[in-house]
Structure 1
């Protein structure tokens, strides 16, 4: 495999902007494990192998069970997720696949039963951030280990 380009060198200001988004979410108070589940699920949908690899490794380091990570693609059928996690995963899928159905009111209401308005906006920003990273990764041809040389 070959990297199309190193976005970090091609446009450092763009990288800096993405890092600001990442910092905002990380400093927001969002549960770091929940954020990693968002990152993995969105990356699976978007087909970003680089991000899936990175965030699975990060999640394992945080002590999340392998079962919870392996079953993420089938979270609806897996009993290991809390209702709060399920609400966030459903929101992640809806916003990542926005053109398919938009954000159904039932998904919004379910998330809001677990999160206040400020937290909801933070979740949206977290989902936006990983979707941005995924698009950058896929567009530039990133793959696991591409920056290890």
Structure 2
């Protein structure tokens, strides 16, 4: 079993700088990294991508998150494990990534709820965290890297030049 593509970083070396910049953007200290990890796990679940779900689950485990919190991300609305700030962040990722039957995806009430917990810089960081995970979504869907494997193992070998 192997991915469909070789490592995109080998195919498009400019992606390294972009990846570094995206990680620096979301690690600016305005939002706890745990919150970003929870959001990105939920994003992987919403888009139904095993690679992203396993990747972000592993990151949360390495950060010391409990199995209860990790597991409950899929049903966060009625789970007792999340702070109000984390709930607002999870609601934002769902609003952005899921169509709304009621029109606007991020209504004023949701924005106001998030703004109770996050300042403008943090709200922009939350938006970039959603953008970060969705930036890699096409590579995860098209390239189909192998879940739970190291970067060297998850991509098929590039043909010899």
What is the TM-score of this pair, normalised by structure 1?
0.89
Q: 1:48 to 1:147 in 2, by over 3 A?
A: farther
Runs of 4+ residues over 4 Å off in structure 1: none
Residue 146 of structure 2, aligned match among 106, 121, 143? 143
Which residue in 2 is equivalent to 1:3? 3
Say how many residue pairs are matched.
Answer: 148
Which residue in 2 is equivalent to 1:124? 127
Determine which structure has the larger helix proportion and give its number.
Answer: 1
Deviates more, 1:64-73 or 1:138-147: 138-147
Alpha-carbon distance in 2 for matches of 1:139, 1:14: 16
What is the TM-score of this pair, normalised by structure 2?
0.83
Alpha-carbon distance in 1 for matches of 2:152, 2:51: 10
Q: How far does residue 16 in structure 1 lie from its aligned partner after superposition?
A: 2.8
Note if contact 2:45-2:53 (Cα within 8 Å) is conserved in structure 1. yes
Note if contact 1:50-1:142 (Cα within 8 Å) is conserved in structure 2. yes
Alpha-carbon distance in 2 for matches of 1:147, 1:138: 18
Q: How far does residue 23 in structure 1 lie from its aligned partner after superposition?
A: 1.8
| Pairs within 5 Å for 1:43-62 | 43-62=44-63
Which residue in 1 is equivalent to 2:87? 86
Q: Which runs of 5+ in 2 are unaligned?
A: 155-161
